[in-house]
């Protein structure tokens, strides 16, 4: 999620069952040992892998000027040997892909080093989605660290982290062995990843930071806070508790992953990124009550991604509008219902939907549809997020209209979550329309196509009128919402049903 914020904080979400499942060994077919040196600028990796096929990959690399292979250019001294100790030649195919010059489907030993210098660059998706240092440790993603079988990686993977004295490993993986309390020169912590996705598609934090725990919405969270934010922990905890309690009934079930890690550090971009069981977030300043609509919205948005985006997954990037924009809409709605943002903040956000659409279309000159704009999401984020939020609002309103205001977007999310997330299936645009039709009997496909496949700005006046608001626009940036003096009682009640407070 791209916003403006920053701080030093880390949340590790651990399932209530994880401690009971802890052990000191595993029978995993894959085993990685990662040692971070005392200077904190290099990771040494040793791995024993049961390779299927004959290719290894560093996934999700981002080529950059001077770094044509992206994160793979930070790997050094890669060596592969077979079970007899014989060296296997490795062919670098580029952009993180490597091919063994021998038959595949064999046990191999892999060793390499990773220069932990990624934060010397400004990555397209943001350093919070790659790697960065703080005075308390290092955040990195599995995408930057783990060279893994490219074609398939069956079974579990044990990972041992050997860290400098005083450091702890915070991961989304199940803990196998807790670090000793004695002051050793290094600390080893072991984890188990139950899939390749859990291993690589996650953020991790290594270092020193105090922690606290809370449980809400059926999820247990371990929150690790940087020293700047430890005194402000109650504000974070209160927001997380309230939002988690809202998200559980919104989707009708827990998110799919068993463990989570949330990492928040100070950073000027205020950007963040969500992963399969974690998210990495920059916050701009302290967590204050008066700025909660800003930093709180960032946290609440990324937290909601554990349901919409990481459990409920689109077929391809054309549905980024639903993953990001609808998530943003539901974030605003739930925070408003929880009284975490005011009526004034809701109105400003609604006005920004109109303003942002005009900026994207006229100032930025984006001529693609909301669906197609996701092909360049980081450049077109204003249209992807804003257009998706407009679609979320319009869809919520039309669901209510078609059901005498008995059914809204939350009921649609429950159906999609049940039929796709819990079944391990990915959805497309037609699936959203079909689920809405099943709830109301109305064909929603024409509406959705007009909202997200149209290459022109969406006409917002009738959408706002359906919740009792009158849109006034002047030039590019002057967009105001007024109470419609002709608003019906139904329209006023609909506004309250969505946002949780009376029509004002």
pLDDT in tens, 66-90: 999 999 999 999 999 999 999 999 9
pLDDT of residue 424: 95
13 belongs to a structural domain: no
7 belongs to a structural domain: no
6 belongs to a structural domain: no
CB atoms within 10 A of CB 422: 15
Higher pLDDT, 20 or 134: 134
pLDDT of residue 162: 96
Domain edge (last residue) among 157, 181, 203: 203
Longest CA–CA span in the chain (Å) reads 83
Inter-residue contact 448 to 391 (CB < 8 Å):
yes
Domains identified in the chain, total number = 3
Q: Distance (Å, rounded) from C-alpha 433 to C-alpha 446?
A: 9
Best-predicted range by mean pLDDT (186-195, 230-239, 298-307, 449-458): 449-458
3 belongs to a structural domain: no
Same domain, 132 and 249: no
pLDDT > 90 fraction of the chain, expressed in percent and rounded: 73
Side-chain-side CA neighbours of residue 332 (13 Å): 23
Q: Which domain holds residue 323?
A: 317-499
- DSSP per-residue letters across 102-162: S-SSEEEEEEEEEE--GGGS--TT-GGGTEEEETTEEEEEHHHH--EESSB--S-EEEEEE
Interhelix angle 429-440/409-416, nearest 10 degrees: 120
Same domain, 348 and 484: yes
pLDDT of residue 216: 76
Average confidence (pLDDT) over 4-32: 49
Same domain, 388 and 457: yes
Average confidence (pLDDT) over 113-121: 97
Instruction: Supply 320's token pair.
Output: 């980024």
Alpha helices by DSSP H, 156-218: 196-200
495 — alpha (psi -120 to 50), left (phi > 0) or beta? Answer: alpha
Average confidence (pLDDT) over 369-381: 91
Domain edge (last residue) among 150, 177, 203: 203
Same domain, 179 and 271: no
Where residue 442 falls among pLDDT bands split at 50, 70, 90? very high
Where residue 268 falls among pLDDT bands split at 50, 70, 90? confident
Same domain, 322 and 294: no
Q: Find the CATH number of the domain harbouring 92.
A: 2.60.40.3650
pLDDT of residue 9: 37
18 belongs to a structural domain: no
pLDDT of residue 260: 83
Does the pLDDT of residue 6 top 60, yes or no? no
Q: Distance (Å, rounded) from C-alpha 313 to C-alpha 428?
A: 9
340 belongs to a structural domain: yes
The gap from C-alpha 291 to its chain's centroid, in whole angstroms, comes to 22
Where residue 466 falls among pLDDT bands split at 50, 70, 90? very high
Does the pLDDT of residue 179 top 60, yes or no? no
Domain edge (last residue) among 180, 203, 226: 203
- Does an H or E element contain 216, and which? strand 210-216
Where residue 7 falls among pLDDT bands split at 50, 70, 90? very low
106 belongs to a structural domain: yes
pLDDT, mean over the chain: 89
pLDDT of residue 256: 87
Where residue 185 falls among pLDDT bands split at 50, 70, 90? low
Average confidence (pLDDT) over 162-190: 77
Q: Distance (Å, rounded) from C-alpha 35 to C-alpha 119?
A: 19
Where residue 213 falls among pLDDT bands split at 50, 70, 90? confident
Where residue 476 falls among pLDDT bands split at 50, 70, 90? confident
Q: Distance (Å, rounded) from C-alpha 459 to C-alpha 463?
A: 8
Same domain, 473 and 343: yes
Q: What is the pLDDT of residues 218-262, one digit of tens each?
A: 677 777 787 888 888 899 889 999 999 999 999 999 998 877 888
Q: For the CA atoms of 439, 445, 447, 451, what is the dihedral angle to 10 degrees?
A: 120
Same domain, 198 and 226: no
Q: Distance (Å, rounded) from C-alpha 487 to C-alpha 412?
A: 26
Q: What is the pLDDT of residues 272-286, one digit of tens each?
A: 888 888 888 888 889
Interhelix angle 381-402/445-452, nearest 10 degrees: 160
Same domain, 361 and 439: yes
Where residue 21 falls among pLDDT bands split at 50, 70, 90? very low
Q: How far is CA 78 from CA 58, 74, 91, 210, 496, in A?
A: 12, 11, 11, 36, 60
Q: Output b/e per residue, 324-353; b: 16+ Cβ within 10 A.
A: bbbbbbbbbbbbbbbebbeeebbbebbbeb
Same domain, 58 and 195: yes
Inter-residue contact 310 to 257 (CB < 8 Å):
yes
Same domain, 74 and 167: yes
Q: In what order do the strands lie in the sheet with 9-13?
A: 210-216, 219-225, 9-13, 260-266, 278-283, 272-275
Same domain, 229 and 197: no
15 belongs to a structural domain: no
Same domain, 249 and 342: no
pLDDT of residue 378: 81
């Amino acid at each position: 999620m791209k916003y403006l914020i920053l701080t030093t904080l880390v949340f590790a979400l651990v399932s209530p069952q994880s401690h009971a499942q802890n052990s000191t060994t595993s029978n995993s077919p894959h085993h990685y040992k990662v040692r971070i040196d005392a200077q904190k600028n290099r990771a040494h990796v040793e791995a024993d892998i049961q390779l299927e096929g004959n290719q290894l990959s560093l996934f999700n690399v981002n080529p950059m000027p001077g770094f044509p292979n992206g994160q793979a250019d930070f790997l050094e001294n890669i060596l592969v040997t077979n079970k007899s100790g014989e060296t296997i030649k490795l062919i670098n195919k580029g952009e993180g892909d490597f091919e063994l010059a021998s038959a595949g489907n064999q046990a191999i030993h892999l060793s390499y080093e990773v220069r932990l210098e990624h934060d010397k660059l400004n990555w397209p998706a943001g350093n919070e989605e790659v790697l960065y240092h703080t005075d308390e440790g290092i955040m990195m993603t599995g995408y930057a660290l783990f060279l893994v079988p490219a074609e398939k990686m069956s079974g579990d993977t044990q990972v041992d982290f050997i860290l400098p004295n005083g450091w702890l490993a915070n991961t989304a993986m199940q803990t196998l062995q807790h670090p000793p309390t004695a002051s050793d020169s290094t600390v080893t912590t072991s984890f188990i990843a139950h899939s390749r996705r859990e291993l690589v598609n996650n953020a991790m934090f290594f270092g020193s930071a105090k922690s606290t725990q809370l449980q809400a919405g059926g999820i247990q969270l371990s929150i690790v806070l940087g020293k700047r934010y430890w005194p402000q922990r109650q504000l974070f905890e209160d927001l997380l508790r309230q939002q988690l309690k809202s998200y559980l009934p919104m989707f009708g079930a827990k998110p799919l992953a068993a463990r989570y890690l949330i990492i928040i550090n100070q950073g000027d971009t205020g950007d963040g990124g969500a992963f399969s069981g974690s998210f990495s977030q920059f916050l701009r300043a302290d967590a204050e009550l008066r700025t909660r609509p800003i930093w709180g919205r960032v946290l609440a948005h990324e937290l909601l991604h554990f349901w919409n985006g990481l459990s409920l997954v689109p077929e391809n990037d054309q549905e980024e509008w639903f993953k990001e924009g609808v998530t943003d809409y539901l974030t605003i709605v739930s925070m408003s219902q929880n009284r975490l943002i005011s009526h004034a903040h809701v109105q400003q956000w609604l006005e920004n939907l109109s303003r942002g659409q005009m900026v994207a279309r006229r100032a930025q000159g984006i001529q693609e549809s909301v669906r197609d704009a996701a092909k360049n999401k980081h450049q077109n984020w204003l249209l992807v997020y804003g257009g998706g939020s407009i679609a979320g609002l319009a869809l919520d309103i039309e669901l209510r209209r078609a059901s005498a205001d008995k059914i809204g977007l939350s009921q649609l999310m429950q159906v999609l979550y049940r039929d796709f997330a819990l079944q391990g299936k990915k959805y497309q645009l037609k699936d959203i329309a079909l689920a809405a039709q099943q709830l109301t009997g109305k064909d929603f496909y024409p509406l959705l196509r007009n909202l997200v496949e149209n290459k022109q700005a969406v006409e917002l006046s009738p959408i706002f009128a359906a919740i009792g608001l009158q849109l006034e626009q002047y030039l590019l940036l002057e967009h105001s919402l007024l109470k419609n003096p002709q608003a019906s009682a139904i329209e006023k009640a609909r506004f309250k049903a969505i946002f949780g407070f009376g029509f004002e």
